[in-house]
Chain A
């Protein structure tokens, strides 16, 4: 065969190869640069926060203004409580919405719901805090753990819903058909076979939204407010790490600044731990089965 293009192809091959290597290098550098903020934040928080960590930080209440020492025990417990309350609302609601969108959601209603979920996800969290303030705090006439949990829960719904929907859509249609062909009603197929089959990935989505919610400050400022003491009933104000960090960070006292850093470190570690647990403990299981 006569070769019309051989020379051209060879020359352009060398050029393409050069472009390819350059672009590859550019991508690696860009990736490394993207990691810089993460590691510098973590390094800085670690350096600033670690010295202030001690036993009393984990076990004691904040000391009154002017007294040194004390800790954030109530804030740590408060954050756990708030995130628990939020998950109680956000997780089942979010998964239910995801189930609707993926299993039944066709036509206009579904696209409206999908659009609304995306809108809700992009509403600034402080607005959600304001909304809950107007709805719950004004009605109950006080700040409360419940209001804080509600605000964080609302925040979680759209992310849980959309991530569940995406995971559910990855389950092939013929799995559902196999369930239906066994003479099982659709809801059983959906809950016991489809959802069960992807519980790993769903939990991953949930954990990411929990991690997100546990760091939110703005929606808590005028819902859960803050509390210098151990939390009482759920209809009373409650302390939380983000709000406590905020309060301490804007104070004029060095000791409080140190504690704010320590709080920040704990919060970061908490979120890291959740991500890590999700990835290490849950993900491989989901892959194996």
Chain B
């Protein structure tokens, strides 16, 4: 298996407070990696560094090396806008663009990226919505506002929106924490399906979720990566006592 993204020596700050400390980690192609850890451990900040979204927050900065398919996204003269096209992101709260229809929400990335041919857009929208397991539910209301869908559908719409621009990695920041159990199950099923097409890095609060759907798991604590390895091993035979105490529910 080859690594599609390699992170080395990644540090991130909010002002003077360091949120992520010296992370070294690599993600293999077509796998799901779960990032777990208690609130405030830097896991969200970490994945927001992977598409350089972290630096959009006032006073926030990050240094380190993040190789995406061999190229350092923190390299000199690299335009964050260009690299974000290859790295999709799904957020904690479903956030379809207000006042855009279901169709336009999915098409917007391509359309604003310069693709305007209606036939191409239609095809891409259908493909993305099918990939995100939403097509059958919305094919008759593509012109309805994206915000009119249910919460779970909105989140799958956001996944379709991210997939439409054909990223090589999909970052998911607690994608099910605002959803009910049934919608959560659908997203989990979808993630397992999606990894055939795209590499997934997912932050989750929910350890059962990490155990169910991820191949690799990284445990973060206070900005450090405490342990990383095969999910089955992390949950059955953690090497670090802190990992063990966290996954057995003794803290966090």
Residues of A within 8 A of B (CB): 106, 171-172, 174-186, 188, 192-193, 196-200, 286, 288-289
Asked if A288 and B145 make an inter-chain contact with CB atoms under 8 angstroms apart, the answer reads yes
> Given the complex, which residues of A lie within 8 Å of B93, measured CB to CB?
174
The residue from A172, A181, A186, A188 contacting B162, defined by CB atoms under 8 A apart: A181
The residue from A174, A178, A186, A289 contacting B147, defined by CB atoms under 8 A apart: A289
Asked if A198 and B91 make an inter-chain contact with CB atoms under 8 angstroms apart, the answer reads no
Q: Top 3 closest A-B pairs, CB basis? A: A183-B85, A181-B89, A183-B84
**Interface residues in B93-138 (C-beta closer than 8 Å to A):** 93, 95, 97-100, 108-109, 112-113
**Interface residues in B30-56 (C-beta closer than 8 Å to A):** 51, 53, 56
Asked if A188 and B112 make an inter-chain contact with CB atoms under 8 angstroms apart, the answer reads yes
Task: Select the residue from B56, B93, B109, B112 with max chain A CB neighbours within 10 A.
Answer: B112
> Given the complex, which residues of A lie within 8 Å of B92, measured CB to CB?
174
Known contacts A183-B85, A185-B81, A174 near B91 by CB under 8 Å: yes
> Given the complex, which residues of B lie within 8 Å of A171, measured CB to CB?
98
The residue from A106, A175, A179, A181 contacting B51, defined by CB atoms under 8 A apart: A181
The residue from B89, B99, B112 contacting A184, defined by CB atoms under 8 A apart: B112
A277 to chain B, nearest CB (A): 19
A-B contact pairs, 14 of them (CB 8 A): A174-B95, A178-B97, A178-B158, A180-B84, A181-B87, A181-B88, A181-B89, A182-B88, A182-B162, A183-B85, A184-B113, A197-B99, A198-B99, A199-B99
> Given the complex, which residues of B lie within 8 Å of A183, measured CB to CB?
81-87, 109, 113, 165
> Given the complex, which residues of B lie within 8 Å of A106, measured CB to CB?
58
Of chain A, the residue at the smallest CB distance from B52 is A180
The residue from B56, B95, B109, B165 contacting A172, defined by CB atoms under 8 A apart: B95
Asked if B147 and A177 make an inter-chain contact with CB atoms under 8 angstroms apart, the answer reads no
Known contacts A174-B91, A175-B98, A197-B99, A180 near B56 by CB under 8 Å: yes
**Other than the known A178-B161, A197-B97, what 5 A-B pairs have Cβ atoms closer than 8 Å?**
A178-B89, A181-B51, A184-B109, A186-B81, A193-B97
Task: Select the residue from A178, A179, A286 with max chain B CB neighbours within 10 A.
Answer: A178
- The secondary-structure label for the interface of chain A is helix
Residues of B within 8 A of A (CB): 51, 53, 56, 58, 81-89, 91-93, 95, 97-100, 108-109, 112-113, 145, 147, 158, 161-162, 165, 171
Of chain B, the residue at the smallest CB distance from A171 is B98
Asked if B97 and A179 make an inter-chain contact with CB atoms under 8 angstroms apart, the answer reads yes
B123 to chain A, nearest CB (A): 18
Bound Cα distance from A180 to B82, whole angstroms? 10
B224 to chain A, nearest CB (A): 25
Of chain B, the residue at the smallest CB distance from A197 is B98
Asked if B91 and A196 make an inter-chain contact with CB atoms under 8 angstroms apart, the answer reads no
> Given the complex, which residues of A lie within 8 Å of B171, measured CB to CB?
181
Task: Select the residue from A106, A181, A197 with max chain B CB neighbours within 10 A.
Answer: A181
Of chain A, the residue at the smallest CB distance from B88 is A181
> Given the complex, which residues of B lie within 8 Å of A175, measured CB to CB?
95, 97-98
Asked if B53 and A184 make an inter-chain contact with CB atoms under 8 angstroms apart, the answer reads no
A105 to chain B, nearest CB (A): 11
A108 to chain B, nearest CB (A): 14
Task: Select the residue from B56, B108, B158 with max chain A CB neighbours within 10 A.
Answer: B108
Asked if B98 and A198 make an inter-chain contact with CB atoms under 8 angstroms apart, the answer reads yes
> Given the complex, which residues of B lie within 8 Å of A177, measured CB to CB?
53, 56, 89, 91
Bound Cα distance from A177 to B56, whole angstroms? 8
A206 to chain B, nearest CB (A): 17
B154 to chain A, nearest CB (A): 12
Bound Cα distance from A171 to B91, whole angstroms? 16
Of chain A, the residue at the smallest CB distance from B111 is A192
A174 to chain B, nearest CB (A): 5
B129 to chain A, nearest CB (A): 16
Of chain B, the residue at the smallest CB distance from A177 is B53
